Amino acid sequence: MTLAVGVIGTGMIGSDHIAKLSGTIAGARVSAVFDVDAERAAAVAVGAGAKACGSAQEVISSTDTDAVLIASPGPLHPEQVLACLAAAKPVLCEKPLATTVEDCAAVLDAEAALGRRLVQVGFMRRYDEGFRQVKAAVDAGSIGEPLLVHSVHRNPTVPASFTADMSMTDSVVHEFDTYRWLLGQEVVAVTVLAARRSPRAAEHMRDPQLVLMEMADGVLVEVESFVNCQYGYDVRCEVVGSEGTVNLDNPAFTALAARGARGKGVPPDWQARFGAAYQTELQQWVDGLAAGHDAAGPSAWDGYAATAVGLACVESIRAGCRVEVSLPERPALYA
Contacting positions for ligand NAD (CB under 6 A): 8-14, 34-37, 40, 56, 71-74, 76, 94-95, 122, 124, 170, 270, 274
- Residue 9 contact among ligand ISE, ligand NAD, none, beta carbon within 5 to 8 Å by kind: ligand NAD
Cα(249)–Cα(239) distance, integer angstroms: 12
Q: What residue ranges bind ligand ISE (CB under 6 A)?
A: 155, 170-171, 174, 270
Cα(239)–Cα(147) distance, integer angstroms: 8
DSSP string, 41-64: HHHHHHHHT-EEPSSHHHHHH-TT
In one-letter notation, the amino acid at residue 302 is D
Could you tell me which residues are beta bridge partners of residue 276? none
CB of 73 to ligand NAD, least distance (A): 5
Question: What is the separation of C-alpha 134 from the centre of its chain, rounded to a whole number of angstroms?
Answer: 18
CB of 174 to ligand ISE, least distance (A): 6
- Residue 97 contact among ligand ISE, ligand NAD, none, beta carbon within 5 to 8 Å by kind: none
Q: Which is nearer to ligand ISE, 111 or 170 (CB)?
A: 170
CB atoms within 10 A of CB 2: 12
- Residue 36 contact among ligand NAD, ligand ISE, none, beta carbon within 5 to 8 Å by kind: ligand NAD
Q: Which is nearer to ligand NAD, 44 or 137 (CB)?
A: 44
Cα(35)–Cα(14) distance, integer angstroms: 10
Contact 221, 149 (CB under 8 A): yes
Contact 304, 97 (CB under 8 A): yes
CB of 294 to ligand NAD, least distance (A): 21
Q: Which is nearer to ligand ISE, 50 or 192 (CB)?
A: 192
- Residue 177 contact among ligand NAD, ligand ISE, none, beta carbon within 5 to 8 Å by kind: none
CB of 217 to ligand ISE, least distance (A): 27
Query: Over the Cα atoms of the chain, what is R_g?
Result: 20
CB of 33 to ligand NAD, least distance (A): 9
